[in-house]
Each structure stands twice: as C-alpha cells, then as structure tokens.
A and B are shown apart, each in its own frame.
Chain A
Amino acid sequence: MTFRQRHLLGIEPLHPLEITTLLDLADTYVDLNRRAQKHADVLAGLTQINMFFEASTRTQASFELAGKRLGADVMNMSMQASSIKKGETLIDTALTLNAMHPDLLVVRHPHSGAVDLLAQKVNCAVLNAGDGRHEHPTQALLDALTIRRAKGRLHRLNVAICGDIAHSRVARSNILLLHKMENRVRLIGPPTLMPSEIGELGVEVYDDMRDGLAGCDVVMMLRLQRERMDGGFIPSEREYYHRYGLDPEKLSHAADDAIVMHPGPMNRGVEIDGILADDINRSVIQEQVEMGVAVRMAAMDLLARNLRAEGLGAA
C-alpha cells in the first residue's frame, strides 16, 4: 500500500502515488455505496469527531455518513457555539478532545493553518475539512475522482477553474492536485478575485471567460463567496453573471465533451446557469457529492490503517 500519511492536512504533502492509491480505494467504496447493504466495518471501534469551527452542511454530512458507513462511532461538535465563545484557545480545545481518545478528528476552521496547528497537539489522525483560504484536500480528491471516472484518466487534461480564486481553498487544493497529476490548469476570473502573483504557481490566467474556456476538458466553477467579501471586489452580481457566469454559450467554447463541476452550494444565476447545472449530459455536480462520501471513506480507511500499523488507535 502506498499511503504513508499520518494526517490528511492538504494536497501539498501527498505523492502522486498516494493520490492514486486513495482514488483506487475510493472507487471500491463507490460500488459499496451503491449497494443496498452499505456497511463495511473497517473503522469499527474507532471514534471519529467532527469539529466544525465554521458553518458547513454538506461537508459535515458527507464526513458523518462516511464514518458511519465504515462503522466508526461518530460525534459532531459545532464549535461555533461552544467553548471558543467562552475564550478557550484552539490548543486547549484540542488537548481536551485528545483526552477523550478519538482516533479520527475532522476539522474545519476559518483560519489558514489552524488545522496544522491542531494536528501538532493530538495523537489521532487529523483530516482537514477546510482551513481558511489554505486547503480543502477531500474536495480536491473528490473532484479528481469525478474527473477520472468521467474522462477515463486524470492526466493531460485542460482544466479551467473559474470564479473567486482569491478566497478559495478549493481552488488551491485543486491546483496542487491537478499539477501533481500532470494536467494544465487555467484560472479564469476578474483580476480582483485573483491572488497576487498567481502566475508563479504555473497556471495560465485569463480574465476573459471565452478565451479561457477554449478547448477545455473540465470546467470547475467556484462559488462566489459573498460572505467572505469585504465589499467591492465586483461591481454587481448581474455584471459578474454576464462576464463570468457559466451559460451554454460560454460553455460552447470548451471541448464538446467538457464536463461542468461545482463544489456547491451553487448560486444559480450568479456563477452558473440553472438549466446548465441540471443538464445531466454536461454537469457532474451530483456525482461530485456521491464521490465525496466515497473519497472520505477511503481517506479515513487509509489513515486508520496507518494508525493501527503504528500501534495507535483502538483494535
């Protein structure tokens, strides 16, 4: 087995072979999840705690379902309402939880690097479910699995990522993963939503969507994160939709068999045309959700195996 990680903190530390191992295992879980009997017991006896310091519905549900299908005892802690309001520091929260002997800790935090910090202080395996603008590794892995299943390969593809790159951890993880697997990445969006000196990352940057989409195999749309905006990045939603919203006309510039992806939740009519999003011939948005559960099952399975190999964790 080629997966040597203690934690899943980001795509950055992963080797391409580790990514392939994880996606291969996830493929088997896709099959399992489609059966009537969806249970495996590879995590039986292990405790999984989901700590979300930032609101999340789908990612948290996906991790919860993944853990339960593999037989783990899953606990959800909504940290927005909890001890941090009472002034407890992140490290103290981590140490408190650590004393309860969890085996898998799934963490989302609004600040970049917070999950790394937490991972230094606990004995269990930590999975990053999104930290600030830094990384969201399971999202990039589920996107990769979706692409691999739709396109039959995960290399030598032209992938366009469109929208609010600056505030997006999904974009960062996807850029890293797609580069590791030897794809070409284009970024499309208004310059105000591009991080500074993004070109140094080896990507092609376009501010015209039609130019950027020309010949693309995969079109990844990003959510326009209105709640992250301090204000004034774009003039208005309707101008944004006019220039950067994905509609059938703009999509016609991409390859004929290009697939459309979106990490959700979607703003229909802001970044993506509603009918296009529902077009089962182009949109793989529902598959992404399905792959999400499988990828998270695979990630937790692999980390639990490494825990056991180290003699840590239950059983």
Chain B
Amino acid sequence: MTTTLFDNARLIDPETGTDVPGWLLVDGSTIAARGTDAPPDAPHVIDCAGACLAPGIVDMGVKLGEPGERHKESFKTGGRAAAAGGVTTVVMRPDTLTPIDSPEVLEFVLRRGREAAPVNMAAMATLTRAREGREMTEIGFLLDAGALAFTDGDRVCRDTRVLIRCLTYARGLGALVIGHPQEPQLSAGAGITSGKFATLRGLPAVSPMAERMGLERDLALVEMTGARYHADQITTACALPALRRAREAGLDVTAGISIHHLTLNTLDVGDYRSFFKLKPPLRHEEDRAAMVEALRDGLIDVICSMHTPQDEESKRLPFEEAASGAVGLETLLPAALRLYHSGDMDLPGLFRALSLNPARRLGLPGGQLSVGAPADLVLFDPDAPFVLDRFTLHSKSKNTPFDGARLQGRVRGTWVGGYRVFG
C-alpha cells in the first residue's frame, strides 16, 4: 500500500461547498485524511503548488464508438481522453450502433472498457429493445449486470403506453430512467433552434417549446408511476417552470445539461459550421443565461459532456446532412471553467454538478473529497490559458466546437483509485 500526500493544494469540496488551501492524504485507493494545518509525513509527496484538487468528474453522458463504430472512438481512446480531461468515471450511453440493450452486450462493454481504459467505466442500458420504443429491456438482469440507468437516448419513446409500463416496471426495481425531453415530431430533422437566425440561414428549425412539451409529458408520467427520473438535457427557459413544479411536488426528478448548452449559443453556428450541430440544438443567448442561473439555483443538477464522437466524413457535409454531436471529454472542464471565470459559478458549485451530483444520482461512491471516499482526483490550474487545437485531442474523433477557442484551465494530473492516469 502506498501512501501519497498531496501538499500545498487548493481543496475544492463540493459536499461542504468549501474552497480552501490544504493537504490531502491518499492511502492505497482511498482518501485517508485531509486538513488545512501542517501536513503529516508521507513516503510519497506531490507538491500541488497551489493548484486545485477536486473530486474527479463523473460524466454521465458519454458515447463511445464501441461496439460498432470503433473508427469514431474506442474504449482506449475515449478512456485516455477522459483521463486527460479530469474525468475519472465515464458513464457510457447505450445509444451505440449495437445498442446496450441486453446483459450480454453490457457485460462485453464493461469488461472490454475496464481492460482498455485507465478510468472507471460504467454504463447505462437502453429502456426498450433496440431503442425502438416497443418492448422493454430486461431491466432486472441489466441492473444485476451493472446498468446504472435506463435510457433510449435521443430516440424518444412515442408510444406513451409503452413508456408508462417501462416507468412502472422500473419503479418496482428502483431503477433510474433517463429521458430526452423533446416532442419527437417537432424536433425531427431540425438542427437549429427557430428564430431570426434560423430563418436567415434557411435551416429547418425546432421551437424551444418542443422541449417543454416533451418534459411535461414525461413529468406527468412520473407523477402517475412514481418512477425515478432524470432529464438528460434541459436547455430552454420555457421548460424550467415544469421542472420546478415537479421538484416542489416532491417527485424524484433531476435534470442535466451539456456543457455546450451552458457556454455556446445558436449564433455560434455562424456560416453553417456543422461542429456546432448538436441534439438538442444550441439555444438563444437568453436561454443559455437562464440555464446558468438554473444551475446556480440547483434546479439543474448535473453538467455532462454529451461526448458524441463523429468522424470527419459525418461532419464535412452541408449542415442539414451533417451528423449531430460533439466530443467533450477533454474540453468539459476548461469549458465549465468559463462559468467560473465569468463569475457565474464558484468552483465547489461547479464540481457539485460535475462530480458529486451525478455520482449520487447514479449511486456511485465517487464525487467527494471526504475521508474514506475513493481517491478519484483531478488536479488542475484553473487560470492556465491556452488555445485549443482539435488535433491535440486524445479522442479519435476531433469534432469539437471549441477548436481555436481561447480557454482557461489545464488538467495537471488525474488519479483513479489512487493511481495516476494522466499528467
């Protein structure tokens, strides 16, 4: 058992909401002690030189290319990207080409993922077979095999009766169901939010109301069934009142948002830049500002990367034909730090949404700096400036909307279970 002292660190603790200078002692794979006074002796000392030490990020929205699209991202490249981005737990989305809809596929994904990637690998499973919205998956077996939550990703279940049965069955097992709040008919084929900019660009657009309609339906069903529910991405101001009502009514409902919707808006699409085509599409600036406020208020619980690797061929197309999604594992932290530098969020607040809340919601032990917690840590300098070059990313796919962007915040080191996996 090795004992490592992280000395001279700025400890970011989302649980207590504190941001203080101090030290942290790791014994083996867990946090053994921490303090702000004189540090104890240890055989192995890391001088953090005043950099921030925070619980590693738990990213609950990661799509990797395996199985089926390994040319876009493999467990290995995705795992390295995660380590480089300070993500210590990757929660894989099941919307892969071969969807994670059976215990056998889940077993493969977890086994191969854990062999190939240096960080913790966890996975969600689909709610219905092949994400077709017709028959529910073996939720019980999948839970036993380690599925953390159940979601059909961006393929919204159109048959409300099927969804009621899935939610009811999931409630019986205490399983968490993740929805993608969109009215599917309205959002079909739309790569941009409706408005003046979309009209000038002549692109098929979707109203922000489609998100509210999808959320209202899902929340009504949650009220009926009592299921545990998480909305993967809430991105529009008009959806927030429904979310607030559900919270106040005591429903077991949480909500997430991708980092892109917190830091970019629809005008970033510019002259048809397909790297900015996301699902749901980027929103107006007023919506983005409202989402930052909702995050600060705690109405939105989780920030995730919605890491969606796409190869050049899927993106080098006219905007309407181009695939949706952006990679985000490595840019999640520096992009999130924009909210810190703009004065919108403090660091403990950011890590509550990046680490603590997703870990708690998924029943994972990480996301904390408390004694006894796993030593999943990220050490970063929040101020270090750099200009992102997409070809320096570890991901196999380079489809980041932050190419050429000026960012602040560099990861200096990442530890998973006490092992250094980056830096």
- Seen from chain A, the residues whose Cβ lies within 8 Å of a Cβ on chain B are 12, 89-91, 109, 111-114, 116-117, 131-135, 169, 172, 195-198, 200-201
Contact = CB atoms under 8 A, between A and B. Distances in A.
B272 A113 contact: yes
B202 A133 contact: yes
Contacts of B196: 197, 200-201
Contacts, number: 66
Contact of B318 (A12, A117, A169, A196): A117
B38 interface: no
Nearest to B189: A230
Contact of A201 (B200, B205, B207, B318): B200
Interface string B94-123: 000000000000000000000000000000
B200 A89 contact: no
B339 to A, nearest CB: 28
Given A113-B203, A196-B194, 15 more contacts: A111-B318, A112-B203, A113-B318, A113-B320, A116-B272, A117-B317, A131-B202, A132-B320, A133-B202, A172-B199, A195-B199, A197-B196, A200-B195, A201-B196, A201-B199
B317 A90 contact: yes
B404 to A, nearest CB: 16
B316 interface: yes
B201 A112 contact: yes
5 contacts: A91-B316, A91-B317, A111-B321, A112-B320, A134-B202
B271 interface: yes
A89 B322 CA distance: 11
Contact of A112 (B194, B202, B313, B316): B202
A112 B319 contact: yes
9 closest A-B pairs by CB? A113-B272, A133-B202, A134-B202, A114-B318, A112-B202, A111-B318, A200-B196, A195-B199, A196-B194
A134 B318 contact: no
Interface string B182-197: 0000000000001110
A195 to B, nearest CB: 4
Q: Main SS of the interface on chain A?
A: mixed
Contacts of B321: 111
A117 B321 CA distance: 12
Given A109-B318, A113-B319, A196 B207 contact: yes
A197 B199 contact: yes
A250 to B, nearest CB: 26
A28 B353 CA distance: 66
Nearest to A133: B202
Contacts of B194: 196-197
B195 A197 contact: yes
A196 B202 contact: no
Contacts of A131: 202
B201 A113 contact: yes
Contacts of B320: 111-113, 132
Interface of B: 194-196, 198-203, 205, 207, 271-272, 313, 316-321
Contacts of B207: 196
B261 to A, nearest CB: 20
A134 B201 contact: yes
Nearest to A176: B200
A197 B321 CA distance: 24
Contact of B272 (A89, A112, A197): A112
A135 B200 CA distance: 9
A90 B200 contact: no
A161 to B, nearest CB: 14
A90 B318 CA distance: 8
Nearest to B207: A196
| Most A CB within 10 A of own CB, among B202, B203, B320 | B202
Nearest to A200: B196
Contacts of A12: 200
A114 B322 CA distance: 11
Nearest to B313: A89
A227 to B, nearest CB: 16
Contacts of B272: 112-113, 116-117
Contacts of A200: 195-196
Contacts of B198: 195-196
A88 to B, nearest CB: 11
A134 B313 CA distance: 23
A197 B196 CA distance: 6
A129 to B, nearest CB: 15
B200 A172 contact: yes
A292 to B, nearest CB: 21
Contact of B195 (A114, A117, A135, A196): A196
Contacts of B200: 12, 172, 201
B266 to A, nearest CB: 12
Contacts of A91: 316-317
Nearest to A118: B318
A131 B318 CA distance: 10
A117 B203 CA distance: 14
A12 B196 CA distance: 14
Contacts of A172: 199-200, 202
